[in-house]
Structure 1
Amino acid sequence: MPGICSGELITAIAMTEPAIGSDLASMATSAIRDGDHYVVNGAKTFITNGINADLVIVAVKTDPSERHKGMSLLVIERGTEGFERGRNLNKVGLHSQDTAELFFNDCRVPVTNLLGTEGMGFIHLVENLAQERLSIAAGAVAAARQALRWTLEYTHERTAFGQPIAAFQNSRFVLAEMATEIEIAEVFLDRCVEALCAVELTVEEAAMAKWWCTELQKRVVDHCVQLHGGYGFMLEYPIARAYCDVRIQTIYGGTTEIMKEIIGRSLRPES
């Protein structure tokens, strides 16, 4: 823990597998108890920090006959025999962040590396999922705000037909819509942060924030690229790089569809 807090150790959490994403309970990576060790076999993919991580928290099935109740978390350290890293995946965006495949072949992990309680891995994971989703929402709104800043600068400097692009009514309407939606998102996000600090944030509220704010980011960045014209398609402009980065936002941390499913399941008629 001291090394993690000081930044000396890089960590990763490995949940997603080649055949499963949102359906964690169907994971195939197993960890079978053998004396004082677990023997881990399986593969993970799309793992953030997978190449550089010193410690990887791996979601495994300690009881393959169970679904959610069979999941546990193991801390697997760099250099552990049977633990191999695959390629650094070539992503559309987020190029500064390594994302890797991980492989476990008869990887022996000490029982003392069990994180939390055996069979409670799924519960341990979902306990902090609301906070994770809220953090993604916060990043999305911040990115949308920055995209708007870049675009305001560009549209006031760039001229067409003898006047700044921002002077055209269509441009003003689009800019006004983006500014309004970002402001609304920030207000809701602030309310969610207050709820989180008060330990009152619900899973449904976090899901609302995650899907709405990330979809907003996609809309805003797309509009901003349009307002940049051809220059918006050039990677030397930050808005073009933002366009590459934004697409994953509605996928990782829980897809928009899963977020809506979480919210929809909770809705009942008012009594």
Structure 2
Amino acid sequence: MVNTMAVNKDESRSFFTKEHLLFRRSFREFLDNEAVPHYHQWEKEGEIPRSFRKKMGDNGFLSPWLDVEFGGSGADFAYSVVVAEELERIRSGLAGIFIDSDVVARYIASFGTIDQKHRFLPGLRSGELLSAYALSEQDACPEQTTAVKKDGYYRITGAKTFITNGYRADLMIVACKNDFGVGLDGISLLLVDKDTPGLTMGRKLVKDGRNGLETADLFFDDAAVPLESILGEEGKGLSYINQNSQQESLMCALKSLMAAKEMYHLTKGYVKEGKTFNKNISQCPKTRSTFAEIATDIQVGSTLVDDLICKHMDGENIITQVSMAEYWITKMSKRISDRCMQVHDGYGHRSDDKIIRRHRDISVFSTRKGPTDIIKNLFANPNELDA
């Protein structure tokens, strides 16, 4: 059953129209019917079935922002906000779907050739194609994986680590170093098919959190990729990554905030029923103080994120602000998660309990770009900071 009260809170968010609210109601009802009853089993299996992605595509919930030419409806960014929040409302393990819908598809739509767009975008929108974004390496820099031109191909050598969807992806965007005379630059993005000779997908990694999100390492041993598989211009990869980083950081902050809200709601439900020394937990002064602090953090985070969404939709360059938001909100969500676990006391540590599974998921957000110090370095130049 759709939570009408929660959906109606959207009416105060200036970037939402009646159409956005109807879209959320429809998507929430879809997820409650098609995902909620099965998610625990999907988490045990360590993957989201392709059939679920296909159902999302059939109902128009994947990449609604795409042009009609490629199967989308030309929707604005606020629809992606709805999709991100509703997937996170269920659990963080559904984030792999967002890689297809709003990361890989956006790279191809922004920088791909007409042929690449017609070849890949309809499949990503329909849910028939599973994709991966292979950027990270052991040292968090894409320059260790190289692509050398030889005999009409790019020959890729190297490895990528902790790649979401990497275990079953049909298509992946791979960042490679192919201009060796320009220091940290000279990165190109290549579209790589799963059947590429020389590509090996590692085993599915076992993680402590986000277990529905299949993750694997990728290994390239002189993997031959056709020259026409380059995405955009050669050597412009870092530029493309930087162009998309504003939206990706904003989405990370948004989803982390949603995860914290869900932890808070779970904990409120627990204290309404729980008693200690024959006294309702919700009436304990310490619990009430904790809830007041958590609610304040969530309100501050919501105000910050909504303001940044508006600015992003207006086309403003706010990479510094969204990097700050990603850093602060991921840390805040972890803090809220810890406090919610404290309220649950020992009852929250049962391995099959929703609260402990959500707690494990939240820990992953702060590692999206590596340690938090790396995120802070994105906005660490004092000459560019306003306070």
Taking structure 1 as the reference length, the TM-score comes to: 0.94
1:134 and 1:11 mapped to 2: Cα distance? Answer: 21
* Corresponding position: 1:223 with 2:339: yes
Match for residue 155 of structure 1 among 238, 247, 271: 271
Q: 1:119 to 1:152 in 2, by over 3 A?
A: same
Q: 1:175 to 1:126 in 2, by over 3 A?
A: same
Cα distance, 1:212 vs. partner? 1.0
More strand, by proportion: 1
Match for residue 165 of structure 1 among 281, 290, 299: 281
Match for residue 366 of structure 2 among 232, 242, 250: 250
Match for residue 13 of structure 1 among 129, 133, 137: 133
Letter in 2 for 1:2: P
Match for residue 89 of structure 1 among 205, 209, 218: 205
Q: CA-to-partner distance for each residue in 1:144-188, whole Å, 9 max, x for gaps? A: 111111111111210011211111101100010001110110000
More helix, by proportion: 2
Match for residue 169 of structure 2 among 38, 47, 53: 53
2:316 and 2:361 mapped to 1: Cα distance? Answer: 31
Match for residue 241 of structure 2 among 125, 138, 150: 125
Give the secondary structure class of the aligned counterpart of 1:73.
strand
Letter in 2 for 1:10: L
Cα distance, 1:267 vs. partner? 4.1
5+ residue gaps in structure 1? none
Q: CA-to-partner distance for each residue in 1:2-52, whole Å, 9 max, x for gaps? A: 11111110111111123x11x44xx21111011421111111111000011
Provide the aligned C-alpha RMSD in A: 1.5
Cα distance, 1:119 vs. partner? 0.5
Kept in 2, the 8 Å contact 1:208–1:263? The answer is: yes
Give the secondary structure class of the aligned counterpart of 1:264.
coil
| 2:109 equivalent in structure 1 | none
Cα distance, 1:69 vs. partner? 2.6
2:383 and 2:274 mapped to 1: Cα distance? Answer: 48
Match for residue 28 of structure 1 among 125, 144, 151: 144
2:384 and 2:239 mapped to 1: Cα distance? Answer: 25
Match for residue 174 of structure 1 among 283, 287, 290: 290
2:259 and 2:206 mapped to 1: Cα distance? Answer: 22
Letter in 2 for 1:125: I
* Corresponding position: 1:202 with 2:202: no
Cα distance, 1:268 vs. partner? 5.4
Taking structure 2 as the reference length, the TM-score comes to: 0.66
Kept in 2, the 8 Å contact 1:233–1:240? The answer is: yes
Identity of aligned residues (%): 35
2:384 and 2:265 mapped to 1: Cα distance? Answer: 40
Kept in 2, the 8 Å contact 1:211–1:255? The answer is: no
Kept in 1, the 8 Å contact 2:369–2:375? The answer is: no
1:182 and 1:210 mapped to 2: Cα distance? Answer: 14
Cα distance, 1:258 vs. partner? 2.1
Q: 1:194 to 1:255 in 2, by over 3 A?
A: farther
Q: How many aligned positions are there?
A: 266
Q: 1:106 to 1:266 in 2, by over 3 A?
A: same
